[in-house]
A = this chain, B = another copy of it.
Amino acid sequence: MANLTIKDIAKLCGVGTSTVSRAMNDDPGINSETKERILKVVKEFHYVPNNSARNLKVSETNTVGVLVKGRNNSFFQGMYTFIEQELQKIGYDFILKEISYDDNNTMQAVEMVKEQRLKGMIFLGGMIEDLDKIRQHIDIPYVFCTVAVDYNATDCNLVAIDDEKESYRIVDYLIKNGHRKIAIIAGQKGDFAVGRLRLKGYKLALEANGIEYNPGLVAYQRDDLPDYSSANGYAVMKDLLASGEEFTAVFAVSDLTAFGAYKAIYDAGKKIPDDYSVVGFDGIEMTKYMYPALTSVRQPVEEMIMCAVELLAKAINGEDTGRQIFFAGELLEQDSVKDITH
């Protein structure tokens, strides 16, 4: 950022501040040679006129921070283009920061805000445990999007799907297709974010259909592999297949995890969906090209991003805050589930 004032520019050019101002405003009353000389200096020193500085207000960047809990995650990565497009419409750029599941997003957010003079923040993924700290330390507008947060915190902007309900939906779909021995590739054991909600939806769907919950069919992702990754889905599915537990279907809590699970099933010489039906979660683009195409719950990512950016823009303009908007997921019926009702 430049701390140059119009006075500095005037001093450098050997003219008065009003001349600098006229040069920059393309005032016809100024000698063209002088104008050119001034504009060269303006350019060289990246000077940007800042009217509000006179009123002792801080001039504003047009940058929004996007803090993503999860590295190399196709689900979030598929969002960046939309985020960019939507922010561009309202004149903003963004700075992206992907952090790992172990990082504390509150601390990272505080740091980003401090360093970057951001206009606003969008949080993607993970959960917010210490909402009070965020309230206390982050004094710019922010929106949580696909973040697990205390849903009673009605002073926060939140855009999400109901993870519990959507998990219920897809597990119920498996049951309607005749499956009763259904395994789940859950989040890591310490996942109190969406992993916990999706596991809960799974349990509720079993319960509602009179199926006893079998802890032996819950495969938590490993702590030593990236969360929600294909690597984790592969490793965990391999162990599950070797465990001797019987099951006809698997619910993987993300599409990428399901992608890894496919590979483990094929490696074991089994077929999808003939031997095992598999469903995922998120509904990302690549599910179409998996073989067979993965049945999943699609999150309406475009709409969610549009909504998050709109809420952020309103908050930046001081218009509105504290909206909690839940989008419905969509059952993406593809080819990975076998109907075994007959």
Chain A residues near B (Cβ < 8 Å)? 1-5, 8, 11-12, 45-46, 48, 50, 53, 56, 58-59, 61-63, 71-72, 74, 77-78, 80-81, 84, 93-98, 112, 115-117, 230-231, 234, 259-260, 262-263, 266, 285-286, 288-291
Contacts and interface: CB of A to CB of B under 8 A. Distances in A.
Nearest to A71: B81
A1 B48 contact: yes
A21 to B, nearest CB: 15
A58 B84 contact: no
A262 to B, nearest CB: 7
A186 B71 CA distance: 30
B72 A78 contact: yes
A128 B144 CA distance: 38
Contact of A289 (B3, B50, B94, B259): B259
Contact of A12 (B12, B56, B74): B56
Contact of A1 (B61, B112, B259, B288): B61
Nearest to A261: B289
Given A3-B5, A4-B53, A58-B4, A230 B95 contact: no
